[in-house]
Amino acid sequence: MSTDEQTQFLQQLAEDLNSRNITLPSFPDVVIKIRTALEDPTCSSERLADVVRTDAVLVARLLMAANSAFHNRAGIEIVDLNLAISRLGFEVVRNTAITLAVEQIFNASQHAELRESIKSIWSSSLSLASMCFVIARNSDNLNPDNAFLCGLLHEVGKLYILTKARDYPTLMGDADSLASVLEQWYSSVGKSIVEAWGFSDEIANSMEIEENLSSDSGSPATLVDVIYAARLVLENSDEQELDESSQDIVGKLKISQDTLPAIRDAYDQHAQSMRQSVS
């Protein structure tokens, strides 16, 4: 790729960030209605079910999730939406709706030249979300459902960059340069998108790991720590030991060579359930 085109593209990204002009399609109405309903502490399963029923695909996803091996250890099939919501819990309903919405946003951007790249990012996002959930579940001060969202949304900035890069055909044809741009810019772009979608500062800050990772080994674990640790575990095979330089962070999250097998088993179960529900 020519230096001039690379400079032009990076200038455009910088301008978009400075002007907060980082946009992807907004969430469907049903997701907004679910988030609004759950802000009411008196919200009931019946009320939430009434909102969910406006989206047939979401209904199917929730019933599938409720009957998955991860959520249905007893093997008792549920065909009623109210019972499915009761089994899953409100946070899982919210996250399932958001997962469906993000999946639809990814699919809407699958132009021919982007299809394989976007498919890879989506698969990576699902894996990271599941690992974040499993790791956060073992912590006393973290919400595993919020950790799941952090993992799911962590690479959404790459989607925006890829869609913008379509206007720069030379960049699209230079795999190394495109990969470099994605790696350097996706976290800042992703944070801007997550903020625009109305997620909390805690979730938005988790998009930028290097900027927000705590060096204080005595401080409580954060969602940033979870993202860092989840990526570390996913990048290491069963035979590899975790890097000694990461011990302060993984220690906060009760991750050790002794606990890794159980974490990986739980991850396999959760990831399989997730992939079944979005297939």
Section 29-48 average pLDDT? 92
Are 257 and 279 in contact by the 8 Å Cβ rule? The answer is no
**What is the 8-class DSSP label of residue 40?**
S
How does pLDDT run across 166-197, given as a tens digit for each residue?
Answer: 888 888 888 888 888 899 999 999 999 999 89
Are 148 and 204 in contact by the 8 Å Cβ rule? The answer is no
Which position has the higher pLDDT, 24 or 149? 149
Q: 213: how many CB neighbours lie within 10 A of its CB? A: 14
Q: How many residues does the chain have?
A: 279
How does pLDDT run across 198-208, given as a tens digit for each residue?
Answer: 899 999 999 99
Asked whether the predicted pLDDT for residue 88 surpasses 70, the reply is: yes
* Summary mean pLDDT of the chain: 87
Domains in the chain and their CATH numbers? 3-277 (1.10.3210.10)
Are 96 and 224 in contact by the 8 Å Cβ rule? The answer is no
CA distance 207 to 226: 11
Q: What angle do CA 26, 30, 36 make, to 5 degrees?
A: 90
Helix (H, G, I), strand (E, B) or coil at 74: coil
Q: 169: how many CB neighbours lie within 10 A of its CB? A: 12
Helix 90-108 and helix 144-153: axis angle, to 10°? Answer: 0
Instruction: Report the share of the chain in percent with pLDDT over 90.
Output: 49
